[in-house]
Amino acid sequence: MTLLAIETSCDETGVAIIREGRVLSNVVASQTAIHAEYGGVVPELATREHLRNFMPVAAEALRQASVTPAGLDAVAVTRGPGLPSALLAGLKAGQALAFCLRKPIAGIHHLEAHLYSPWILADPPRGDFAQFEPSVSLVASGGHTLLVHVRGLFNHRVLGATLDDAAGECFDKIGKLMGLAYPAGAQIDRLAADGNPKAFQFPRPMLAEANDDFSFAGLKTSVRYFLEKNPGLLDDPRRLRDVCASAQAAIVEVLAGKTARAARRLGARCVTASGGVACNNALRRELAAACAQAGMRLRLAERVFSTDNAAMIGILAERKLMAGAGEMDLDAEIEPNWALPLA
């Protein structure tokens, strides 16, 4: 099966071509590069950009894959959750394409695609579901932070989620408080590499609590208080790196600690992590250490498939269509509030 997949749930316009589990092309028109120039804010976010980007991105994905529209057997699109107007741009483009080609269209859950993205290899890029095994999975990005029990392929239940800020949002907002440019997550990761994570003590929100939920708003606020009480600290590059390392340690310890604990409780033998925050080096190290200690396998999403992309949508859609699932009507609507099933 050759499939064209579309992702437009938030900022990124993504189109990928998938064939028999292989990623033939994966094009993302990232607005992040443009955002950074504006120092923390985003010009013309979302909708209008998706409309502008879609045709060139789709044409480029087809060109890189050496596939023509007539060679497509199916279309896949992110149906939700996400920003309604952004989802609508991708869904209607996909439906129009499927209608013209008289081919089936799959409506995919954005978070489900992240959830199974650790089972996509990067080089060469292809699905690796032969290795699939049940897991406890952390999905952490700018907009989402959740812990999911994956009991089998497409059989999953949400164990917990953030009550307020997502982990990636916490990175970005702490970065903003420190005067770093948007998006700050990657910069904090870089600066923290040369900092002392024990230099300052920030709270580990909800680490000790018995549930699988997260909360990062209080940590952000405590960094704010700390910076206000220590004016001038950020003028010293060494201390700035220490603040980055210390704040990062707080976020990462909570994410890795709660993930490992849930995995032990549920007897999972595998842990996976995906979403943009899964690119964070400290989180990758912390998860690796926790899993090694508990004798669990760790499967991290490849960096290229961690942030929003259409390849993960297409890989999941192909599996679903082959299993007789996921197909939607040509006039199906977006699902902006689509939730994964709860435990």
Which of 116/338 has CB closer to another protein? 338
Question: Which residue has 């997550």 as its token pair?
Answer: 185
Closest approach of Cβ 142 to another protein, in Å? Answer: 4
Pairing of strands 135-140, 145-152: antiparallel
* Residue found under tokens 């990067």: 122
Residues 276, 302: contact at Cβ < 8 Å? no
Q: Which span (67-75, 137-145, 192-200, 260-268) binds another protein, by CB under 8 A?
A: 137-145
Whichever of 109 and 319 has its CB closer to another protein, that residue is 109
> Which residues within the stretch 289-308 sit at the binding site for another protein (CB under 8 A)?
none
For another protein, the binding residue among 45, 121, 153, 294 (CB under 8 A) is: 45
Kindly tell me which of 64 and 85 has the beta carbon lying closer to another protein: 85
Does position 64 interact with another protein (CB under 8 A)? The reply is no
| 145: nearest Cα among 259, 230, 228 | 259
Dihedral sign, Cα of residue 308, residue 311, residue 314, residue 320: negative
Q: Site mask, another protein, residues 317-336, x = CB under 8 A?
A: -------------------x
142 touches another protein (CB under 8 A) = yes
Residue 9 CB, shortest distance to another protein, in Å, is 9
Does the protein bind another protein through residue 340 (CB under 8 A)?
no
Binds another protein (CB under 8 A): choice among 95, 141, 187, 280: 141
Contact 287, 298 (CB under 8 A): yes
Between residues 130 and 210, which has the closer beta carbon with respect to another protein? 210
Which of 101, 153, 163, 234 touches another protein by CB under 8 A? 163
203 binds another protein (CB under 8 A): no
Q: Does 56 bind another protein (CB under 8 A)?
A: no
Shortest CB 174 distance to another protein, Å: 9
Q: Inter-axis angle of helices 217-229 and 167-177, to 10 degrees?
A: 10
Which of these segments, 34-42, 120-128, 187-195, 249-257, binds another protein (CB under 8 A)? 34-42
* Ramachandran angles phi, psi of 154, nearest 5°: 65, 20
What b/e readout covers 46-66, taking b as 16+ CB neighbours within 10 angstroms? bbebbbebbeebbeebbeebe
Residue 223 exposed, middle or buried by CB count within 10 Å (0-12, 13-18, 19+): buried
Q: Does 224 bind another protein (CB under 8 A)?
A: yes
Instruction: State which of residues 3, 29, 54, 81 lies at the interface with another protein (CB under 8 A).
Output: 81
The DSSP code sequence of 131-154 is G---EEEEEE-SS-EEEEEEEETT
Specify which residues 4 forms β-bridges with: 17, 75
**Bridge pairing between strands 105-109 and 74-80:** parallel
92 binds another protein (CB under 8 A): no
Give the binding site for another protein (CB under 8 A). 10, 38, 41-49, 81-86, 141-143, 161-166, 168-169, 173, 176-177, 217, 220-221, 224-225, 336-337
